[in-house]
Structure 1
């Protein structure tokens, strides 16, 4: 693997008296899709929030593009190109589709807003058709498109997708994973955080499996698919 774009070592994090993450090591190389897998409550969202500086780390280190961001402000993290599309989409429901997209370039790539908007519309033609629509009136799948499009407006160097398939129909899930594969083919590094193990491992180069706040398995997707315990726990095989 080439030098890591994101390098997390010994990460500890939690809420109040509860320590959720207990010494997590994760690497993502430039242009790589890495999966972080695990069931509900495993600590995936806590990991994302800590790496994105929305939650303070209690120990360990986080480096991004050669810079130590362990104690950085979340605005500085975004400005460096680490962009997080959160679980549950978190769009602004009372704003229009266009306003939501424009907010994606508020902290980064504002000078390229027009060209990035055209790129998003090429990827998501449906959003171009609905620029004036109030975002909260869109379907769940359309809102997920909007959330990802908003993330792309900031020209991410690494895009963290937190449970993007949650609540989507099987057909939309297929479309979503196809989109992630296309973004990767364009050279974008992606950390895909999912419960949908089978489809995630089809497109990820490597994966980590998080259980009870610790990494239990890591390796190439092929190696993880060959692990009996993983197949039994997540794939029913």
Structure 2
């Protein structure tokens, strides 16, 4: 579904992505892991069409999208749920969801909203509530629901567990597993290393804008280099 080759990008004179290559196949959950400052956010911005790349290739669903507009990328089905939720706090839950489906025909929006509510019944109970009054976990549900309104062919989840309580983190990872079980490919960009590796089929570990480690998630969990870098063992 997604094939990134030798991607380079940065800001001014600073190169952040330094020849990064990775892929996500159909039906996969692929974890992209790394601490702050390794290039995860820049990668997501380039994939979403809001940050230009300097060189490389990004093919999505068989088509080169590097240089495409953000609108065209969303229309193609590559959907990014950003870090920090980025919901519209002064709009209701329903209005946020409707905005998520702006690039889809009006005739399908009602059905898509019902699909979101079937996944997040808590949101259906309070459709007229302002999004800014929701809890952190509920705002994350709304952010993912808004992404699902665009009918993704591949969903990028950027730090979905950030700022959530341990109980809500478990709930969020269970939700991601459910979406994957329904056949939706997911690129999971996280700092939560161990839980991400429990969920993903494959993983990439980023350092200094490039891939330091990659492979089967189960094998990476036991990799001594990963334990040294992230767990201090």
- What is the TM-score of this pair, normalised by structure 1? 0.96
Distance in 2 between residues matched to 1:125 and 1:187, nearest whole Å: 21
Partner residue, 2:96? 100
Query: 2:144 aligned with 1:134, yes or no?
Result: no
CA distance in 1 between partners of 2:90 and 2:10 (Å): 32
Query: By how many angstroms is 1:231 displaced?
Result: 1.3
Compared CA separation, residues 115 and 197, structure 1 to 2 (3 A): same
| Aligned twin of 1:63 | 59
| 1:193 paired residue number | 189
| Superposition deviation, residue 99 in structure 1 | 0.2
Given the alignment, which residue of 212, 218, 226 partners 1:216? 212
| Superposed displacement of residue 225, structure 1 | 1.3
The 2-side partners of 1:84 and 1:221 are apart by 22
Counterpart in 1 of 2:231?
Answer: 235
Per-residue CA deviations over 1:103-162 (Å, capped at 9, x if unaligned) read: 111013543111111111011011001100011111111100000000001110000000
Decide which of 55, 80, 88 is 1:84's aligned counterpart: 80
2:151 is aligned with 1:151:
no
User: Between Structure 1 and Structure 2, how many residues are aligned?
Assistant: 233
Contact 1:108/1:154 (8 A) holds in 2 = yes
Mapped to 1, the partners of 2:176 and 2:214 lie a distance apart of: 21
Give the root-mean-square deviation of aligned CA atoms.
0.9
Correspondence 1:183 to 2:184: no
Listed as ranges, the gaps of 5+ residues in structure 2 are none
In structure 2, do the counterparts of structure 1 residues 182 and 50 end up closer, same or farther at CA, with 3 Å as the change threshold? Answer: same
Runs of at least 5 residues in structure 1 that lack an aligned partner in the other structure? none
Q: Which residue of 2 aligns with 1:40?
A: 36
- Structure 1 counterpart of 2:116, from 114, 120, 126: 120
Report the alpha carbon displacement of residue 18 of structure 1 after superposing the two structures with TM: 1.1
Deviations 1:6-59 (A, max 9, x none): 000000011121110000101000111000000011110100110111101111
Structure 1: how far apart are the matches of 2:114 and 2:131?
Answer: 19
Q: Secondary structure at the match of 1:119?
A: helix
